[in-house]
Amino acid sequence: MGMIFRVLKIANRVAYWAYVAQAKVRQLPNVVEDIRPRFLLDETLAAPDGERFAIAVKYSKNGLLDGFLDLLDALQRQNVNVVVVCNGRPSEQDLDALRSRTHRLLVRKNIGRDFGAYRAATLHLAAGGVNPSRVLYFNDSLVYLPGPQLDQMIGAFIQSSYDLAGAFENHEHEHHVGSFAFSISGRVFADPAVLRFWRRYKSYDLRPHAIHRGEIGLSRVVKSRGYAVDVIYSVDRLLEALSRLSLAELLSLVRYLPSNAAAQPFSEWIQEPLDASRLLTLLRDQVAYRASGKTPTISDFRNQKGVRDVRARLAGEFEQDQLMREWLIDRLLGTFMNSSQVHFGFGLFHTVLYSPVLKKDLLAHGVFLEHQCARILETQAPEHRSRIIRELVNRGRPVRPSLMRRFKLENGLI
């Protein structure tokens, strides 16, 4: 069995690299064409107001039904000069909606996914002499939820004292900041090493390439230059918020966990801390008797019963509650902290820290089911929530994927 598993693993890697190689060969003409960024449309619609800019990438085929306009409105409210980059030409109706909300509108061929658009716009602005104090980056792989939380997230990006501030981070492969929503300082934008990274990046339309060479590569070069990095929706901030909740409130959060964790029997979530709290009581009694300097007898246990009950009520109950709360917090955080936090931690970050974004591929990758997403979004207006769930559902779920789709899913190609 072990030999068969190793052979299948090797065969999968061979197939993966063969797929990547043929895709790169096929896409090479577009990549070469995009070495010097070119745009089908470049319109400056308003004079710049201040030195804060945002590069917001939109895949034109998907239209404007995912909160993207809400993002642009929120950026405008905070006097950010919005540069929208469309991968592919939008409809005239969509162009009109974008023009009324942007400082500058760029339309390009759909080359290199969102990171290719980031690259093209960054180099184009730098070549044009733009000298920003802060640059925010957003793509449309997220659904943006309108409201004060979205304004707060944008404000946190703008006001951050860190040179690189991300919405979320990821520890898979290598620690890095997610590229779907982040901001950089003006000195990072103008750093020759960072500009060299953008120039050298090849805009292949491959998800693993965009992750490894793109977002991981950008985090790596920023760190190598000694710049400070922060994350708005981080595990430490979530831990701080969870630590203020009662045991009952923590238990209620189990309903917001991803499918693989929520499928565990509820008893498993409480049995371990219950067993540990009982053990704590036994150990505390044993220590008390050792301190008395004598070997306890049956009558001693009988005579001390009332004392132990009082002690349990006064001190033990607090310790048991604290132990159970800490154990549950560890279990909650352990469901996502070593994976893609924006995906697997969506329920907790949205419910506890009020994160205003969710990834559109939560269902497509089997992280959540639609009824779980609807439960997490229960504070949204019903009509708005239904539109969001419909957009997620229309991307499909991997119930019985074809052989090729299963291969792409398992290898992170989609």
> In the prediction, which pLDDT does 411 show?
86
Give me the amino acid identity at 295.
T
Is the confidence at residue 398, as pLDDT, over 90? no
Does 281 map to a domain?
Answer: no
Is the confidence at residue 181, as pLDDT, over 70? yes
Does 120 map to a domain?
Answer: yes
For residue 87, list its beta bridge partners.
59, 108
Helix intervals (H) in 201-345: 207-209, 216-224, 235-242, 247-252, 259-262, 266-292, 298-311, 317-334, 341-344
Does 212 map to a domain?
Answer: yes
Is the confidence at residue 318, as pLDDT, over 90? no
> In the prediction, which pLDDT does 12 show?
87
User: What CATH number is attached to the domain comprising 186?
Assistant: 3.90.550
> In the prediction, which pLDDT does 399 show?
86
Is the confidence at residue 314, as pLDDT, over 50? no
Strand bridging mode 104-108 / 41-44: antiparallel
Q: Per residue in 307-343, is it b (16+ CB within 10 Å) or e — as a string?
A: eeeebbeeebeeebeebbbebbbebbbebbbebbbbb
Cα distances from 207 to residues 20, 140, 196, in angstroms, run 10, 15, 22
Label residue 321 by pLDDT band (50, 70, 90): confident
Distance CA 43, CA 96 (A): 12
Percentage with pLDDT > 90 across the chain: 71
pLDDT (average), residues 146-170: 97
> In the prediction, which pLDDT does 287 show?
47
Residue with tokens 């004079």: 47
Give me the amino acid identity at 196.
R
Distance separating the N- and C-terminal Cα atoms of the chain: 29
Cα distances from 317 to residues 252, 280, 281, 321, 323, in angstroms, run 20, 11, 9, 6, 10
Does 316 map to a domain?
Answer: no
> In the prediction, which pLDDT does 358 show?
96
Q: What is the pLDDT of residues 293-310, one digit of tens each?
A: 555 554 554 455 554 554
Q: What is the pLDDT of residues 214-270, one digit of tens each?
A: 999 999 999 999 999 999 999 999 999 999 999 889 989 999 999 877 556 555 655
Does 397 map to a domain?
Answer: no
- Give the CB-side neighbour count of residue 62, counting CA atoms within 13 A: 22
Mean pLDDT of the chain: 88
Is the confidence at residue 319, as pLDDT, over 50? yes
Does 135 map to a domain?
Answer: yes
Domain of 152?
33-232
> In the prediction, which pLDDT does 289 show?
45
> In the prediction, which pLDDT does 6 show?
84
Is the confidence at residue 209, as pLDDT, over 70? yes
Label residue 39 by pLDDT band (50, 70, 90): very high
Does 75 map to a domain?
Answer: yes
Q: What is the pLDDT of residues 112-148, one digit of tens each?
A: 999 999 999 999 999 999 999 999 999 999 999 999 9
Does 223 map to a domain?
Answer: yes
Domain count, the chain: 1
> In the prediction, which pLDDT does 301 show?
45
- Give the CB-side neighbour count of residue 174, counting CA atoms within 13 A: 12
Per the structure block, which two tokens stand in for 3?
Answer: 């030999």
